[in-house]
Structures are given as C-alpha cells and as structure tokens.
Structure 1
Amino acid sequence: MAKRIHSFSEITDRYDVVLCDVWGVLHNGVEAFAGASEALAAARAAGLTVVLITNSPRPYPGVKVQIRGLGVRDEAYDRIVTSGDVTRALISSGPEKIYFIGAEKDHPLLDGLGVEVVSAEEAGIVVCAGFRDDERETAEDYRAELEKLAARHLAFICANPDLVVERGHRLIPCAGALANLYGELGGTSLIAGKPHRPIYEKTIEEAREVRGAFDLSRVIAIGDGMPTDVRGAEAFGLDVLYISGGIHAQEYVADGRTDEVKLEAFLAREQASPKWWMPRLR
C-alpha cells in the first residue's frame, strides 16, 4: 500500500527531480491550488528541479500563460513539457492535409508546421486536440463523424490523451475519450502524451538541461490521473506520489474523508503501486 504523507517536504530529500502533473494537481481549471505551488516552490528552494508534465494539447508557452492567470506561481517550476509539444513532432512527420477536431483555442498546436486544415474527404490524417465544446458535448456526439473517418483508415493523432479533467467541481471530457471511441470503431490512434514514453523522454531531457546528470531512481512523478499520470510514470520506472483528491476521488472519498480501505482496493483494481499518496499536494 502507498504510504500516506502530509507534506511533500517529508520526502523531498529522497529526490533530485520532480515531474509534476498540472491540471488536477496545480489547478482545477478554474483556480490554482495555492498549497501545491508553495510545495513545489519549496522543493526548488531545497535544490530540486521541477518540470511540469501535462497532457494539454497547447505548446508550453500557452500553458505558461494559462496557469499564471489561474494563480500558479512561476517559482513553482523550472520547465514545462506538454503533450502538444511532443505531438507536434507526430503531426509534422505525417501528411500535410489534416482534418482537425478541437476548439479555436487549440489551433496554436498547428502553428509553423506547414500543414493545411481540410475537409474530412480531403484529409490524409486526423488531428484531435479536444472537443469543440467540452461544456456541452459528449464522445457520442462524434460517433457518426468518427465512423466516417475510421472507414477511410485515417490515423488519429490525439494531442491530449486525458479522458476527463476537473473544471471546478465538474469532470470535463478530453480528446482521449474521442481516441478511445475511434479505437472502438476500428481506427488507429497515435499518442505521444502521458502515459506514453515520448513525453517522459522529453521531460527527462528538459530536466537534464537544467541540472545535468541524475539517476531515474532520484525522480518522483506527481499526478492524479490513474490511466495517464500513474500508469505512465510507473511504466517509465519512476516513483509516484498519487494525489487522491483528483478525478478518481468519488471511488473512495465520502463526506470529505478518504476511506483508506476503499483507496487500497481501488489501487489494487488499477494494478497501480504509487509509493506515496496525499489528498492534495501541499
């Protein structure tokens, strides 16, 4: 069973590098969790390198602006690596004519790549950054559209593998839900973000640019998403601090209290073995 900790400072002397998830750990899409920024800033002051690792489809400059606006402190991290950053390599290596699924705010993902957004009939590949209206739509709203794309055997590049994220006190669907449906329809998805290796390789590379050589045994990953943050970090061989108050809280939290027996059962069902856990990073 993962060990409960009450402050991140209890374990920072064991590590040199922190890979920290963003949405669900540092903020909920509406406001920042102040204690989380303070914890990472204190870790950096103690000599650790902090790289934020997020499945946001936006390249990192846009995420930096976004999280600063929500109240995440600049002193909380050294670098940011996004799913959008590593996905751009997938897009640039594929067909130039793409069918794009996403909101207007997601278009910076394509900037400077020399691709052309075209109709589904003309496209050689699909790029999905998210829902066009994640406040109202569900994956089922896209079924007919995805069936036509899958029938053409177009590869589906998913820029945000998350299934859901918190927005305030609600769960909002992400591009990963559409990638799952596309797979159910017989389509093939290409994913570089968490839990897949490319984003971890890029994040470790960024950390080494900041501090030089270090051993992976001295790296801790922090996250709240079981299929992405936890599974990806464990597959990469990293220790994990699981933030239990995130998207899976309904599995084991009642009346604001964590039922540790239910939490242990949840982790067992997920075949997950985080080394540590706490409800919120602080």
Structure 2
Amino acid sequence: MTQIVSSLAEISADYDAMFVDLWGCVHDGVTALPDAVAALQAVRKTGVTVVLVTNSPRPRAQVRTQLDGFGVPTDAWDTIATSGDSARSAMFQGIVGHRVFHIGEPHDAPFFAPLQALDNPQHIERVALEDAEGIVCTGPFDADADPSVLRPQLLLAKTMGLKLLCANPDIVVDRGDHREWCAGAVAKLYSEMGGESLYFGKPHPPIYDLARLRLNKLGKDISDRRILAIGDGIHTDIQGALGEGIDSLFITGGLAAEETKTTDQPEADALNAFIEKEKMTPTYAIGKLR
C-alpha cells in the first residue's frame, strides 16, 4: 500500500542517499521548482547524499550547465548520473557499430564528443542511414511531431538489421506546459515494428549501476535499503526502483497529475486506481517534491 506523505522530511531519516529525477521533480524544463530545491538542500544538511539521476541524453557536464540556467543551485545535489553518459559509454565501446545514423536534433551534437573516460574508445562516425551499422537516437528530429513520421527510416533500418541505441527511454516530457516527444517513443515504435532497441536510462539497470558508481566515487558505500528513488515517471522512476529493489517516492503532480487528480496532493482513490492500472506500487507518494 502506497503511503501519501506531506514532505520529504517526513521520511528522509530512513535514507542515506537519494536518486532524484530532474524533469518534473526539480525543474519543469524551464525553471527550478523552489520547494523541491529547498527540500533537497534540507536533506543534504542532514547528511543525505543526493544523486540526480536523469534520462537526459546529454553528458552530465551539459546537464550541469542546464541546471545552472534553470536556477538549480549546486548545494541541492552532490553528483549527476545521466542516461546520456551511460549510453555514450556503450556507443564508444562499439555496441551499435562504428558508423551510425543519428536521429536527434543539432543541440545533441555533444553526445558524440570524444569520451576520455574509456580506454581505447572506438571511433564513431555519423553517416547516412543507407551506410550505417547502427542507429543512435537522442530524440526525434522534431520533438513536436508524432514519432510515426519516422516509420519509413525505421522500416529500412529494420530490414538492414540495425540496432537502435536509445539515449533517453522517456516517452514524453513536459517543458513548462508543453508536452514533447522523447527518444523512448522512437525506440518503442522501432521495437513494435520488430527492430531491436537498446536502453541505458531508467528503468534499465545501466543507469543505476552508474548512479552507484557516482556514489562510490564520493566515498559513499550505501546499501540499497538506504536509498530512496524519487520521480514522476511510473514506468521509468518507479519501475526502475522496483527492479533495483529500492524504495521510491512517486511525484504524482508531474506526468500523472491528471490520472491521480493531483492539485496539492493526489486524491487517494485516484492514486490507488492508477497504481492498480499500471501494476506499479511506489513506497510513498506526494503531489510535488517539497
């Protein structure tokens, strides 16, 4: 049974580390959410380590720059683990070949910047689909267009037997009041068409392995039972936490605000109906991170 709580402070004493989603929890894609920032600052003062775990396809240095632009202060977090970092590591190990067709927008170019952290990284060349050994998807070409517009390219890729590396498993994200498509929607479509998609962000294990590695690099050896995952994605944040065997705090006022009838807090009956429908039971729930 999911417990509805009024604040993060109500449960934080039970945890030594938190894996915190960004979009919809700490910022809305435009600006920082003040109550969330204050809550994270407060728990860090008690000794809790905050790892920002995001399905952003961007390297963590680029995410940090983005956070600065949104007004998220550095004293609200300790380190960052991104789906982009995990996916880049796999790409530079040659998981989808050396010549890749890139599905994404021009601002995703840093994804292909050389990766110094690997020994002997593979050379990656972006090429036309007809010449590719694999696909790297950082998002649709147009975040406002239904991913089905990519069917012709994906059909050709499937007939060529290409694997698709998905740098962001999110299906959609809300930028302020505007909903956009993400790379996960493209990967989902490709899989439904019979292609093979490879995932590295939530809810899949590689990003949690990276988050634990980031903890270890801070000198933190923390057991899973003392880690709390926080996020608004039932099929990313909550499903991932369940798969990793860690507790979770579901932010119902994000992607599932309508289904859970969340204003300040979720309506209990609506929350329970949503959880039952999705077959995902978070440990705790709250309207907004605060």
TM-score range, shorter chain: over 0.9
* Deviation readout 1:122-152 (Å, 9 max, x if unpaired): 1000000001221x31111111111111111
Following the alignment from structure 1 to structure 2, what is the Cα–Cα distance between the partners of residues 222 and 259? 19
1:214 positional shift: 1.9
For residues 210 and 255 of structure 1, do their structure 2 counterparts lie closer, same or farther at Cα, with a shift above 3 Å needed? Answer: closer
Following the alignment from structure 1 to structure 2, what is the Cα–Cα distance between the partners of residues 138 and 41? 38
Following the alignment from structure 2 to structure 1, what is the Cα–Cα distance between the partners of residues 268 and 162? 45
* Deviation readout 1:58-116 (Å, 9 max, x if unpaired): 00000001011111111110000000000012211221100001011111111115211
TM-score by length of structure 2 reads 0.94
Give the structure 2 partner of residue 30 of structure 1: 30
Match of 2:236 among 225, 228, 240: 228
Following the alignment from structure 2 to structure 1, what is the Cα–Cα distance between the partners of residues 76 and 264? 27
SS in 2 for 1:250: coil
Tell whether the 8 Å contact from 1:50 to 1:207 is kept in structure 2 after alignment. Answer: no
Q: Which amino acid aligns with 1:145?
A: Q
Q: Which amino acid aligns with 2:130?
A: E
List runs of 5+ in structure 2 lacking aligned partners.
Answer: 116-122
Match of 2:137 among 128, 147, 151: 128
1:252 positional shift: 2.3
The aligned runs of 1:186-225 (5 Å cut-off) are 186-225=194-233
Match of 1:118 among 114, 127, 133: 127
Once the two structures are overlaid, the 10-residue window that deviates more, 83-92 or 107-116, is 107-116
Once the two structures are overlaid, the 10-residue window that deviates more, 157-166 or 143-152, is 143-152
Aligned length: 281
Tell whether the 8 Å contact from 2:86 to 2:201 is kept in structure 1 after alignment. Answer: yes
1:254 positional shift: 6.6
1:99 aligns with 2:101: yes
SS in 1 for 2:145: coil
Once the two structures are overlaid, the 10-residue window that deviates more, 168-177 or 78-87, is 168-177
SS in 2 for 1:253: coil
Tell whether the 8 Å contact from 1:161 to 1:174 is kept in structure 2 after alignment. Answer: yes
List runs of 5+ in structure 1 lacking aligned partners.
Answer: none
Tell whether the 8 Å contact from 1:171 to 1:247 is kept in structure 2 after alignment. Answer: no
Moved over 4 A (4+): 254-257
Following the alignment from structure 1 to structure 2, what is the Cα–Cα distance between the partners of residues 92 and 204? 21
1:256 positional shift: 6.5
Give the structure 1 partner of residue 11 of structure 2: 11
1:212 positional shift: 2.5
Give the structure 2 partner of residue 48 of structure 1: 48
Once the two structures are overlaid, the 10-residue window that deviates more, 24-33 or 251-260, is 251-260
TM-score by length of structure 1 reads 0.96
SS in 1 for 2:86: helix
